[in-house]
Amino acid sequence: MGSRASSLLREEDIEEIKKQTGFSHSQITRLYSRFHSLDKGENGALSREDFQRIPELAINPLGDRIINAFFPEGEDQVNFRGFMRTLAHFRPVEDNEKNKDPTSGEPLNSRTNKLFFAFRLYDLDRDDKISRDELLQVLRMMVGVNISDEQLGSIADRTIQEADTNGDMCISFSEFTKVLEKVDVEQKMSIRFLH
């Protein structure tokens, strides 16, 4: 199956995906094989349902938010390139040194791009700020019914109070970044992909 999957992927496509994402040739062909096995509709694209069949996402409290991150606004399918661009956010940062291209922009797995990806998981309405209600919704997803609404409200209020530097009662991306400046985002948001 791996050889069939890689034969459907042209060499020029692999080279372009390598440039865009920093993945190696073997990682791309291996991930293409995985993509192909997830594509139950066999149409060269994945649906939300295809992602929901992945056990690790099915049990993750933020699974739906992570799945949504793969889909551009208003789309209900993601092709292989889109799949790879999203996965690239989770490449370890040290991989950037091997794939440094001075002519390209900031790598998808840079600290800033990892933080922006995480920020988007909280910014449910995509208005570039995290409101108390959005924070509450995500907290509720993460803890379920294990904490009372009053306790969750207190956590949300305290979080916004600590992060909100401009007094608008929301968390902007720059405020989000500032709060996480001492967190090892590079390590926490990395998946080791086999080479």
Domains 11-89 and 108-189 fall in the same CATH topology: yes
Q: Is 72 in contact with 82 (CB distance < 8 Å)?
A: yes
DSSP run (H or E) holding 45: strand 45-47
Q: How far apart are CA 153 and CA 133, in angstroms?
A: 9
> What does CATH list as the number for 108-189?
1.10.238.10
Structure tokens, 89: 């956010």
State phi, psi for 173 to the nearest 5 degrees.
-60, -40
| Segment 125-154 mean pLDDT | 92
**Could you report the per-residue pLDDT of 56-72, keeping only the tens digit for each?**
888 888 888 889 999 98
Look over the chain and give the mean of its residue pLDDT values, rounded to a whole number.
87
Q: Note the pLDDT tens digit of each residue in 87-122.
A: 999 888 765 444 444 445 788 888 899 999 999 999
DSSP annotation string for 80-138? HHHHHHHHHTTS-TTHHHHT--TTS-S-TTSHHHHHHHHHHHH-TT-SSEE-HHHHHHH
Domain ranges of the chain: 11-89, 108-189
* Whether 113 contacts 85, CB under 8 Å: no
Structure tokens at 142: 């993460």
- Residue pair 6/29 in contact (Cβ under 8 Å)? The answer is yes
pLDDT in tens, 24-44: 999 999 999 999 999 998 899
**For 129-185, where are the E strands, in sequence order?**
129-130, 171-172
Query: Is CATH 1.10.238.10 the right assignment for the domain spanning 11-89?
Result: yes
Report the relative pairing of strands 45-47 and 77-79 from DSSP bridges.
antiparallel
Average pLDDT of the residues in 10-23: 93
**Contacts of residue 58, Cβ cutoff 8 Å, sequence gap at least 6:** 52
Residue 6, pLDDT above cutoff 90: no
Bridge partner residues of 172 (DSSP): 129
Tokens of 168: 């608008």
> Is residue 195 over pLDDT 70?
no
Environment class of residue 29 by beta-carbon count within 10 Å: exposed (0-12), middle (13-18) or buried (19+)? middle
